[in-house]
Structure 1
């Protein structure tokens, strides 16, 4: 499918030959913060370098990879350029890639700056729509999307964390605009408990979503509806500058990606919904305000 909504915004890379075959995925590298970093890039089958496509950044969980996340998530089926960045090996047990903001992330690694550098590169080599950049991720990667909503709200139009590890961090939260958010979490997640874990500083998930709604100026009290026998959706409405908050709770769900095509974590993975489809229906409606979109070079 083609991008769903036309946009006047086009990156500098429009009109150039793509760096790989459309419809395929490939690894690429770039230098950021003095480190050699990498990312996995998937181009839609209809990518031709002329139409500006939205971008989905998909951040893996701790110890996972871009290829692993692509395999279980279904994200490469979306009508978008999908990018799977690779984290840096963090602290603790073994060679496990992680993202900034978690207590086990690599000291001194600035993944927020890496995200900006990655978006700069994508805009230079591809035809993308800078007003339609979305961030999703699983576990530690989902937690990092919340970091980006705080620190890069001028470039990230909306976020979609899944089973997010929302650790406290010292990065602060001072967004220049309210960021729409759709989140997914299993009520029986044994890794990142739905009711929180005070010992690790992890919040109660329902409370975290209510706080996001409050920060986005939404009306108090969400509207709840059960869309499947094991799935309840809560929507906060009336939010500031069109920045709604939606939470998708999977009854009995584990530390998993809803609709996963392969192993995505411990516990029950519902197949009654597909997270990639649900998040796309939500995030694809949102664009950065024009004042935040950088003019193409």
Structure 2
């Protein structure tokens, strides 16, 4: 397998993105939004939520009061840096729904479920969708992390983001804009609308993406009328951004599951995809969940958690 030298690839990449840079502002973090690890000041403080429970919290961001819920693991210790997972709900859903769906409250991490604002169609949504509210959810995410790091003993190099559907699409936006602060990203059935903007990440972004081939809401092969890319095309763009080999290694660990892994990505980044044959617009689970009474052949959450554990900011 041939691969151009890194210097040549960088020159070609620069030439390729120049027209886009002139046509539209890149999807990078706005001034004042730190795209780098931020020191945690919350170690040693009494947490706002009792370990082993989930609590509702608020903060003011962009002039609006925003809501979110936090779950602390039962063994949380105020002096021990702990990883943190942001889990974003889908269109018209809630933070509580996402907690039940993704089940990160059962993992040994600080699990945070942000709440989206009501969008133009009357349903909750995130930046990057045509129906989202006129709000900066990247700023909200940054402000949320800053507040959490001021209250809790967060490991600043082990912050992760996952989400479903519109929430998964927003995780893709965060991969473009905050890869210097968030260590890895795992969109599930992501809705990657063009309203997310151009993407020029500050560093290669480790990504693990799930999608079902029978997804009728966000089709695997894309929807040109809505500007939704085919999932292989979306992944191919990330392979370019992360400096990976063009063609992934492909294997099937079990029936109806195809895994793709791109090799030799820049800065030890990581790009993986789980394609689930016959799965619809669901968070994959081997038991009934909020998405579907029909189980799939794979549990996404433990796969995501293993992926996250192998990634950290350097």
2:209 paired with 1:206: no
Number of paired residues? 277
> Structure 2 matches for 1:160-239, cutoff 5 A?
160-169=186-195, 171-239=197-265
Aligned residues of 2:58 and 2:67 also touching (Cα < 8 A): yes
Within 2, Cα distance between the matches of 1:40 and 1:261? 24
Is 1:26 matched up with 2:51? Answer: no
TM-score normalized with structure 1 length: 0.90
Report the Cα distance in structure 1 between the residues aligned to 2:182 and 2:97, rounded to whole angstroms: 23
- The list of structure 1 runs, each at least 4 consecutive aligned residues, that deviate by more than 6 angstroms after superposition, is none
Q: Distance in 1 between matches of 2:66 and 2:253?
A: 40
Q: Which residue of 2 aligns with 1:287?
A: 312
Q: Please, what TM-score do these two structures have when normalized by structure 2?
A: 0.85
Match of 2:126 in 1: 99
Q: What is the alpha-carbon distance in structure 1 between the residues aligned to residue 269 and residue 58 of structure 2?
A: 33
Aligned-pair CA distance for 1:23: 0.9
Contact 1:136/1:159 (<8 A) preserved = yes
* Alignment equivalent of 1:14, drawn from 32, 43, 48: 43
The whole-number CA distance in structure 2 between the counterparts of 1:282 and 1:233 is: 13
CA contact (8 A) 2:217 2:281 kept: yes
Which secondary structure state, in structure 1, belongs to the residue aligned with residue 198 of structure 2? coil
Q: Looking at secondary structure, tell me which structure has more helix per residue.
A: 2
Aligned counterpart in structure 2 of residue 87 of structure 1, from 107, 116, 132? 116
Equivalent residue for 2:97, pick from 68, 72, 75: 68
Which residue does 1:278 correspond to in 2? 303
The answer to whether the Cα contact below 8 Å between 1:257 and 1:275 also exists between their aligned partners in 2 is yes
Instruction: Report which stretch shifted further, 188-197 or 229-238.
Output: 229-238
Aligned 8 A contact 1:253 1:269 in 2: no
**What per-residue deviation string (whole Å, max 9, x for no partner) do you get for residues 80-127 of structure 1?**
1010000000012x3x110001000012x0000000000000000000
> 1:170/1:73 Cα in 2 relative to 1: closer, same or farther (>3 Å)?
closer
| Structure 1 residues 153 and 221, CA gap change in structure 2 (3 angstroms) | same
> How far did 1:265 drift?
3.4
Map of 1:96-175 to 2, 5 A cutoff?
96-107=123-134, 109-169=135-195, 171-175=197-201
Q: Pick closer, same or farther for the CA change 1:264–1:200 going to 2, 3 Å.
A: farther
Structure 2 unaligned spans of 5+: 1-37
CA contact (8 A) 1:74 1:261 kept: no
Are the equivalent residues in 1 in contact too, given 2:83–2:110 (CA < 8 A)? yes
* The structure with more radius of gyration: 2
SS of 2:67's equivalent in the other structure is strand
Structure 2 equivalent of residue 37 of structure 1 = 66
Question: 1:261 deviation in Å?
Answer: 5.3
Aligned mates of 1:42, 1:260 — CA distance in 2 = 23
RMSD: 1.5
